Structure 1
Amino acid sequence: MSSRINIARPQANYNSDPHGLSNTRQSSGYRSADPEDPLEKLRALSKTVEDNVEIYSQPLKPHLPAIGRFLIVVTFLEDALRILTQWSDQIWYLQSHRHFPWGISHIFLILNVIVMLVASSAVILKKHTEYAVGGLLSVVIIQGFGYGLIFDLNFFLRNLSVIGGLFMVFSDSMVSRKTLFAGLPSISETDRKKYFLLAGRVLLIFLFLGFMIQGEWSIMRVFVSIVGLAACVMVAVGFKAKWSAAFLVIVLSIFNVFANNWWSVHSAHPTRDFLKYDFFQTLSIVGGLILLVNMGPGGLSVDEKKKTY
């Protein structure tokens, strides 16, 4: 027969929460964000939009650079085709209205067509991009003076945006280059890229400013202008730049189809060419915004600074 012997043991002071993790007292220091705070709701909404942009752009993301580059130069390809198909009209305009001497007008048009076709092809193929962008920039400037449109405000703002798109192309295709002169200070590839991205972001928004100052005003136009201007400012300073650029891509694409529907105008109507010109220029700016969605705003932006601090 067995017996059990109970041995009294001293009770240890046991604490189930030695680190005080279950302490329910409110801390006098940092306090967690209130989910009902309007600012927190706005942050949550912007995060959701950013995540959706990333998710839905994933299938297209490998192709975004090629799409963006093509759209940026499509206005130059269309312009070259227009000059070739309206050769006699172009010669007549330059000689009669711009007072180009015979022969100079021909050289002017031929050089424009060659540079636009060759440089646009180089941008699409990512070959000698620096020279191609320089050539297209020269076409924008020379045509502005040649056709007498340099002082037209709408033309000026639109072409600033096209130049912004070309800067985005240059940033997308940035390559490392060794300094030509040893011992002299040089700007690194990363620094050059962020400066061109900043310039491209700022210049891209001028198209929308041109949209705001032309046309008749309505309640819908006021609403779109306010929201679009806010998105433009966000793009320029680089705050939530990806989703604000994606928003502008959608808005400008819809606006372009309905406002610049040149295909619905008779071929003999004088406004057809103007609508066609505006349509393809807007496509170029959309291409620049697509490159911004793909690359991000770069180092000189609020989004990038928020990662540091």
Structure 2
Amino acid sequence: MSSRINIARPQSNYSVDPHGLSNSRPSSGYRSADPDDPLEKLKVFSKQVEDNVEIYSQPLKPHLPAIGRFLIVVTFLEDALRIVTQWGDQIWYLQSHRHFPWGISHTFLIINVITMLVGSGAVILKKHTEYAVGGLLGVVIIQGFGYGLIFDLNFFLRNLSVIGGLFMVFSDSMVSRKSVFAGLPSISETDRRKYFLLAGRVLLIFLFLGFVIQGEWSLVRLFVSIIGLGACAMVAVGFKAKWSASFLVLVLSVFNVFANNWWSVHSAHPQRDFLKYDFFQTLSIVGGLILLVNMGPGGLSVDEKKKTF
């Protein structure tokens, strides 16, 4: 007992570091963030926005996947309805301007209508989604060639975004499955989902790029374009993806109502159909962004990498 007391008693010649191995500099300790730093203020603001998005989207969150899937296919449903209600005009255009032989034009339209109706119904009901997405992708491609719009820049960019939305649907439907050939090298379902999410994110932003490069410029358009391009870049790389996708949903929804207001144009005016087409296509891209808000950006994103580190 006395030996422990002697050991604990301090000696006058005792040195804390007899071998001089310690760092002579005093420890700086943890350096707290400067609240006046603009970057720190931006981080705090973005965190508040993310929290608000999370809070206010809670009541809708259980319904977001269904809303997103429906909006993605609404352009196909509208297109099928337009073909049926304008059957004679469609046949005349394909035969007169696209030089489709009689019968081939009818078959082309029938295949498109059936594929769009069946594929859209399957996507909404989440039944056989892989085949439904494949069929709708086929419709996008063959319509581009059939109507001669494949080289139209606006059509091309919009349909890239629609394809991105379909990729988001496909990613949303993917579930983990065991490989049939266990032990053989193959891409897992999880990895495949990450790649489809990445492709979907990148393709979704092409609609906004089309909005930026076309149309008349104004101060408001310039401001919205700069902010929107920043949000598009964030969606593409998956940085603050839910926040930026929510922002694009808001911007595109407002833009769609005011710019593509087909209901205010007379039914006999030829511009009505073009505005209607653009309106429903924009809704489809909004649906893809809603699925992104619900699912997150996936493994191949800055947000996911930040969790790792």
TM-score of the pair, normalised by structure 1: 0.90
- The question of whether the paired residues in 1 share the 8 Å contact of 2:68 and 2:290 is answered with yes
Number of aligned positions between the proteins: 287
Pair 1:243 & 2:243 matched: yes
Pair 1:129 & 2:125 matched: no
* Equivalent in the alignment of 1:296: 296
Tell me whether 172-181 or 184-193 shows the greater mean CA deviation: 172-181
Pair 1:65 & 2:65 matched: yes
Deviation at 1:178, TM superposition (A): 4.3
* Equivalent in the alignment of 2:5: none
| CA 180–109 in structure 1, closer or farther in 2 if over 3 Å, else same | farther
Deviation at 1:182, TM superposition (A): 5.5
Question: Where does structure 1 lack aligned partners over 5 or more consecutive residues?
Answer: 1-12, 14-25
SS at 1:33 equivalent: coil
The separation in 1 between residues aligned to 2:96 and 2:183, in whole angstroms, is: 54
* Equivalent in the alignment of 2:214: 214
* Equivalent in the alignment of 2:47: 47
Aligned CA-pair RMSD: 1.6
* Equivalent in the alignment of 1:87: 87
One-letter identity of the residue aligned with 1:141: I
SS at 2:145 equivalent: helix
* Equivalent in the alignment of 2:23: none
SS at 1:297 equivalent: coil
The separation in 2 between residues aligned to 1:138 and 1:97, in whole angstroms, is: 22
The separation in 2 between residues aligned to 1:141 and 1:258, in whole angstroms, is: 29
The separation in 1 between residues aligned to 2:300 and 2:27, in whole angstroms, is: 37
The separation in 2 between residues aligned to 1:30 and 1:282, in whole angstroms, is: 49
* Equivalent in the alignment of 1:21: none
The separation in 1 between residues aligned to 2:234 and 2:33, in whole angstroms, is: 24
One-letter identity of the residue aligned with 1:50: E
Residues 122-168 of structure 1 show CA distances to partners (whole Å, capped at 9, x for unaligned) of 00000000000000000000000000000000000000000000000
Residues 92-126 of structure 1 show CA distances to partners (whole Å, capped at 9, x for unaligned) of 00000000000000000000000000000000000
* Equivalent in the alignment of 2:35: 35
Tell me whether 182-191 or 160-169 shows the greater mean CA deviation: 182-191
* Equivalent in the alignment of 2:101: 101
For residues 190-209 of structure 1, what are the structure 2 equivalents within 5 Å?
Answer: 190-209=190-209
* Equivalent in the alignment of 1:3: none
* Equivalent in the alignment of 2:142: 142
SS at 1:166 equivalent: helix
- The question of whether the paired residues in 1 share the 8 Å contact of 2:176 and 2:190 is answered with no
* Equivalent in the alignment of 1:261: 261
The separation in 1 between residues aligned to 2:30 and 2:100, in whole angstroms, is: 72
Deviation at 1:27, TM superposition (A): 4.6
SS at 2:101 equivalent: coil
One-letter identity of the residue aligned with 2:266: H
Pair 1:185 & 2:223 matched: no
SS at 1:101 equivalent: coil
The separation in 2 between residues aligned to 1:230 and 1:250, in whole angstroms, is: 15
The separation in 1 between residues aligned to 2:292 and 2:27, in whole angstroms, is: 42
The separation in 1 between residues aligned to 2:29 and 2:223, in whole angstroms, is: 42
The separation in 1 between residues aligned to 2:254 and 2:69, in whole angstroms, is: 20
SS at 1:216 equivalent: coil
Question: Where does structure 2 lack aligned partners over 5 or more consecutive residues?
Answer: 1-8, 10-25
SS at 2:94 equivalent: helix
The separation in 2 between residues aligned to 1:139 and 1:181, in whole angstroms, is: 33
SS at 2:130 equivalent: helix
- The question of whether the paired residues in 1 share the 8 Å contact of 2:241 and 2:293 is answered with yes
The separation in 2 between residues aligned to 1:174 and 1:77, in whole angstroms, is: 24
* Equivalent in the alignment of 2:223: 223
One-letter identity of the residue aligned with 1:38: P
The separation in 2 between residues aligned to 1:286 and 1:100, in whole angstroms, is: 34
One-letter identity of the residue aligned with 1:30: Y
TM-score of the pair, normalised by structure 2: 0.90
* Equivalent in the alignment of 1:153: 153
